[in-house]
Structure 1
Amino acid sequence: MVDDCMKGNRLIGIVQPKKTGDLKKPNLYEVGCVGKITSFNETEDGRYFIVLNGICRYKIVDELTNDKLYRECKINFGNYINDLKENNKEEIKFADLKLIFNDLKNLFRKQGYLINWKDL
Structure 2
Amino acid sequence: MIKAADLPQTLAVFPLPGALLLPRSRLPLHIFEPRYLQMIEDALKSGTRLIGMIQPNPMRGKKDALHHIGCAGKITQFSETEDGRFLITLSGASRFRIVEEITGFSPYRKCNVIWDGFDRDLGPEEVDKGFNRHSLMLLLERYFSARGLSTDWDTLKDADDELLINSLSMLLDFKPEDKQALLEAPSLTTRRETLVTLIEFALRGGNSEEMMQ
How many Å apart are 1:100 and its aligned residue? 5.1
Identical-residue share of aligned pairs (%)? 39
Give the match for residue 126 of structure 2.
90
User: What is the TM-score normalised by the length of structure 1?
Assistant: 0.71
Letter in 2 for 1:12: I
- Mind listing any 5+ residue stretches in structure 2 that lack a counterpart? 1-38, 134-155, 176-213
The runs of at least 4 consecutive aligned structure 1 residues that moved more than 6 Å come to none
Give the match for residue 21 of structure 1.
62
Give the match for residue 31 of structure 2.
none
Give the match for residue 42 of structure 2.
4
3-state DSSP of counterpart to 1:78: coil
- Mind listing any 5+ residue stretches in structure 1 that lack a counterpart? 109-120
How many Å apart are 1:21 and its aligned residue? 3.4
Instruction: String of CA shifts for 1:76-98, please: whole Å, max 9, x gaps.
Output: 11011221122xx1369735638
How many Å apart are 1:53 and its aligned residue? 0.3
- Determine the C-alpha separation between the residues in 1 that align with 2:41 and 2:169: 35
- Determine the C-alpha separation between the residues in 1 that align with 2:83 and 2:115: 36
Whose Rg is larger? Answer: 2
Instruction: String of CA shifts for 1:5-44, please: whole Å, max 9, x gaps.
Output: 011121112212234533xxx1111111111100011122
Written as runs of structure 1 = structure 2, the 5 A alignment for 1:101-120 is: 101=168, 104-107=171-174
Which structure shows the bigger proportion of residues in strand conformation?
1
More divergent stretch after superposition (92-101 vs 48-57): 92-101
